[in-house]
Structure 1
Amino acid sequence: MPVTSVEKDLDQLAITIVADFAAPLRRLWDAYTDPRQIERFWGPPTYPATFLRHDALAGGRSVYSMTGPEGDVHYGCWDWTSADAPHTFEVLDRFSDAAGVPNPDLPTTRMDFVFEETSDGSRLKTTSHFDSLEQMQQLLEMGMLKGTREAMAQIDQVLADLAAFATERGAQAQILSDTQVRVARVIRGTVDQVWRAHNDATLMKQWLLGPDGWSMPVCEIATAVGDSYRYEWQREGGEERFGFTGELLESEEPYRAATTETMIGMDFPATLNEMTLTEVEGGTLLSLVITYANAEQRDAVLATGMTDGMETSYQRLEGLLQPTLA
C-alpha cells in the first residue's frame, strides 16, 4: 500500500497524503502527466477515470470522467496554476459537466503535488486545501479519503507496466467515449521539435504521408487562430487524390493545438482534433483526441486503418529528428 500517512489540519483547512513508491522520480511524474497512465489510477476501482483532456503545464486544463458501477458518469476538471517538472504542480480541482465547465454549486479544491526522490525510489506528497471547514467536511462525507486510498493503491501496478508506455511502442488508438478517440505515441524528439514538425510545411511534406507511395503536393498551414488550413495527398504515378481542410481553433505553442477537420469533397461532419504535446522520459508524448459526430462515424474512420497510417508517418518523423538529436 503506497499511502504511508494522512494528516488533517483543521486550522489550515488542509489534508496531506504521503505515499512512497519503489520507482524513480521521473517515472512517477510521468504517470501523473501522461493521460494514458493517470486514468488507470485517478479514480478508485469502482469509479475508473477517463481523461478527455490533460495539459500538464501552467495554464493548462484537464477534463476527466469517472464512471460508476451503475453506468453513472461524473465529470471533473483541473485548472493548472503551476508546474515545475518533475518536482511540483498545482491544480484547482472542480466538479464539472462533460464539456469541462465547472459546477459552481460544488466545492473547489486546490491541490499541491510534490514529488521527491528517496533512497528507495520516490515520494509523493499531495495536499488538498479547502475554503471552509464545511467544504472540507462535505468532501470527507462524500468518501474523499477512502476513494483516494483505493485510487493510489493502483499506482504501483501502473508504474511497473513499462511495456504499455514504452518509447518503442507504436501509435495506439483508444476509444474514450461514443464520440471520442485518443491516439497516443511517444516521439523521440523534443516538444519544440515535434511542434515545429506540425507547423513547417517543408517538414510536413517529408513525413505526414501515411502509407508508402503517397506525396503531399498541398500543405497550407494555419498560422493563427481563425485561419484555415488545407492538406492534400496524391498517389505517386496515379490520379488518386484526397485531402482535408479546417480551421485552427486554439494554439498554445508548443504544447496544444485544436482544429476542425473536414474531408474535401465529402459530406461528412467535421471532427474536432485536439493535439497535446507533453515532455516524457525518452521524448515527447503526442496525444491526439478526436471528437466525431457519432459512434458510426468514429467506427468508420477507425476501420480505414487510420492508426496504422499515422504510425507510418510518425516513424518517418522520428527518422527526420534522429540526426538532429545525435
Structure 2
Amino acid sequence: MPVTEVTTDPEALTMTLIADFAAPVERLWQAFSDPRELERFWGPPGWPVTFTEFDPIAGGRARYHMTSPRGEKSRGSWEFLSIDEPAGFEVLDGFVDENGDVDEDMPPAMRMSFAFEPTATGSRLRNVTHFPSADSLDAMVAMGAVEGSTMALNQLDRVLLGLREYAQGKGTQVELIDDTHVRITRFIEGSRDLIWRAHHDSDLMRRWLLGPDGWSMTTCDVATEVGGTYRYWWEQDGVEGSGFGFEGELLLSAPPRRAVTTERMIGMAGPGTLNDLNLEEEDGATLLTLLVEYPDVETRDAILATGMADGMETSYARLESVLATDGALR
C-alpha cells in the first residue's frame, strides 16, 4: 500500500501522512490539481467525493462533498493559501453547510499542506494537517481521520498507473478492508454506460449474472428508483428444488457511476449486507468496484468461504464474452 506512515503529534498539533508512489512528482501533482482525478481517490471507500468548484490559485477555493452509501453528505471547502507547482500546495480545509457557510457544529478549519518530493523509485507525498487546538485534533482522530486518510490515499495507485495497468488480467480481486468491509474489483472491457446497463437491464442480466454453468436466472425484478425493491432467483437446470435468490432495496442511484443496495438471501434470517457498486471508466474500459459492508466479521468470513469470489469471476467473464460477441451492445 502507498501509505507507509501516519502519525499524530499532540504537542505540535499535527497529523502527518507519508505515502510513496512509483510515479514522478509531475504525475502526482496532476492527480491533485485535476478535480476529476481527485474524485477518483480523495474520498475513502464508501464516501466518494464530488468537487463542485475548483480554482487552484492562491486565494482560490474548492468546494466538495462526500456521499455515504445511505446518501448522507459531508461537505467541505478548501481555500488555497499557496501554490508551488509541481512541488506542492497548502489549503485551509474546513467543514461547510449546504450553502457553503462554515458548519459551526463541526471542528474548525485546519491548515493542510501537500508536499511532493522525488525519490529513487518515484515520488513521496508528505501531507501535514495543522490543527488549531488539541480538542480539534482529538475530535478529528475520533471521527476516523487517520483511517479515512489512509484508505483514501491508498486508492491513488490505480489513478497514477491507469486502470489497465492496475487491474487488467487480474480477474476478480477481493480485498479485506476491515472486519466488516470487503472491496471487490474487476476490470471489464466496455464503457461505463454499457456496464451500468448490464447491471440494470433484466434481459441483459439474465445472460451473464449466472455464476457456474448450468444455472438460469428465472426471476430478475430490478429496482428502478430509490426506495424500490429488487428480487433475483436462480435455478439449477434440471434440478428440482435447487433454487436460491436475493432481495433488497435500492438506497442510492447515481447513473452511470454508483448504485447502493441492501442484500439479503431469500428465506434466511438475520441481517444482510450493504452493497456499494462504483464504475470508473478509462479509455473505453471500466473498473467495477463493489464495496460490501457485512454486519460482523463472522458473517463476512462465512460468506467469503462459500466461494463467492469464484462465482463472481465466472459471471464477469461471461459478461465480457457477451459484450465481445454481441455487436448490438457496442
Instruction: Map 1:190-209 onto structure 2 (within 5 A).
Output: 190-209=191-210
Q: Offset at 1:296?
A: 0.5
Q: Does 1:167 align with 2:168?
A: yes
CA distance in 2, matches of 1:258, 1:234: 26
Once the two structures are superposed, what CA deviation does each residue of 1:76-107 show, in whole Å capped at 9, x if it has no partner?
Answer: x975889xxxxxxx996769xxxxxx994423
- Letter of the 1:230 counterpart: R
**SS of 1:266 mapped into structure 2:** coil
Q: Residue 23 and residue 210 in structure 1: after superposition, are their counterparts in 2 closer, same or farther (change >3 A)?
A: farther
Query: Which residue pairs with 1:61 in the alignment?
Result: 66
Provide the alpha-carbon RMSD of the alignment: 4.9
Structure 1: stretches of 5+ with no match in the other structure: 1-18, 40-50, 64-76, 83-89, 96-101, 114-121
Cα pair distance change 1:162/1:219, threshold 3 Å: closer
> Paired residue for 2:262?
260
Q: Which range moved further: 283-292 or 197-206?
A: 283-292
TM-score after normalising by structure 2: 0.59
Q: What does residue range 211-226 of structure 1 map to in structure 2 within 5 Å?
A: 211-226=212-227
The yes-or-no answer on 1:286 pairing with 2:288 is yes
In 1, are the aligned partners of 2:167 and 2:186 still within 8 Å (CA)? no
- One-letter amino acid of the structure 2 residue matched with residue 284 of structure 1: T
Over residues 257-279 of structure 1, what are the superposed CA-to-partner deviations in whole Å (9 max), with x where a residue is unaligned? 11111101111311111111122
Alignment deviations for residues 201-243 of structure 1 (CA, whole Å, 9 cap, x no partner):
0110001111111110100000011111000011111121100
**Where does residue 52 of structure 1 map in the other structure?**
45
Count how many residue pairs are aligned between Structure 1 and Structure 2: 248
Residue 163 of structure 1: how far off its partner (Å): 9.0
CA contact (8 A) 1:226 1:247 kept: yes
Are the structure 2 counterparts of residues 296 and 156 from structure 1 closer, same or farther at C-alpha, using a change threshold of 3 Å?
closer
Instruction: Tell me if structure 1 keeps the 8 A contact 2:158–2:166.
Output: no
Q: Identify if the C-alpha distance between structure 1 residues 221 and 163 changes in structure 2 by more than 3 Å, giving closer, same or farther.
A: closer
- Deviation string 1:22-54 (CA, Å, 9 cap, x unpaired) is 38959974986655xx79xxxxxxxxxxx3325
Q: Tell me if the contact between 1:23 and 1:159 (Cα under 8 Å) persists in the aligned partners.
A: no
Distance 1:320 1:112 in 2: 48
SS in 2 for 1:53: coil
Question: Which residues in structure 2 correspond to 1:36-47 (within 5 Å)?
Answer: none
Assess if the C-alpha contact under 8 Å between 1:78 and 1:92 holds in 2: no
Aligned equivalents of 1:126 and 1:109: distance in 2?
16
Q: Deviations over 1:96-129 (max 9, x none)?
A: xxxxxx994423469899xxxxxxxx99999999
Partner of 2:17: none
Equivalent-residue separation in structure 2 for 1:178 and 1:161 (angstroms) = 29
The more displaced of 305-314 and 154-163 is: 154-163
CA offset at residue 173 of structure 1? 1.1
User: Structure 1 residues 267, 283: closer, same or farther in 2, change over 3 A?
Assistant: same
Q: Deviations over 1:265-317 (max 9, x none)?
A: 11131111111112235621211111111111000000001011111111111
Equivalent residue for 2:310? 308
Deviations, residues 181-202 of structure 1 (Å, cap 9, x unaligned): 1111122111111111111001
Output the CA distance in 2 between the equivalents of 1:198 and 1:156: 27
1:180 pairs with 2:185 = no
- 2:95–2:106 Cα contact (<8 Å) kept: no
Q: Structure 1: how far apart are the matches of 2:284 and 2:29?
A: 11
CA contact (8 A) 1:167 1:282 kept: no
CA distance in 2 between counterparts of 1:129 and 1:199 reads 42
Identity of aligned residues (%): 41
Q: Which amino acid aligns with 1:217?
A: T
**What is the alpha-carbon distance in structure 2 between the residues aligned to residue 80 and residue 288 of structure 1?**
26
Provide the rounded CA distance (Å) in 2 between the counterparts of 1:188 and 1:26.
Answer: 26
Counterpart Cα distance in 2 of 1:155 and 1:197? 27
SS in 1 for 2:46: strand
Q: 1:177 to 1:124 in 2, by over 3 A?
A: closer
| CA displacement at 1:165 relative to structure 2 | 2.0
User: Is 103-112 or 243-252 further displaced after alignment?
Assistant: 103-112
Structure 2 residue 282 is the aligned partner of structure 1 residue 270:
no
Give the match's secondary structure for 1:299: helix
Structure 1 residues 162 and 319: alpha-carbon distance in aligned structure 2, compared to 1, 3 A threshold: closer
Taking structure 1 as the reference length, the TM-score comes to: 0.60
Q: Give the Cα separation in 2 of the matches to 1:52 and 1:256.
A: 12
Instruction: Tell me how far 1:247 sits from its aligned partner.
Output: 0.6
Give the aligned residue type for 2:323: L
Matched to 1:173, the amino acid is V
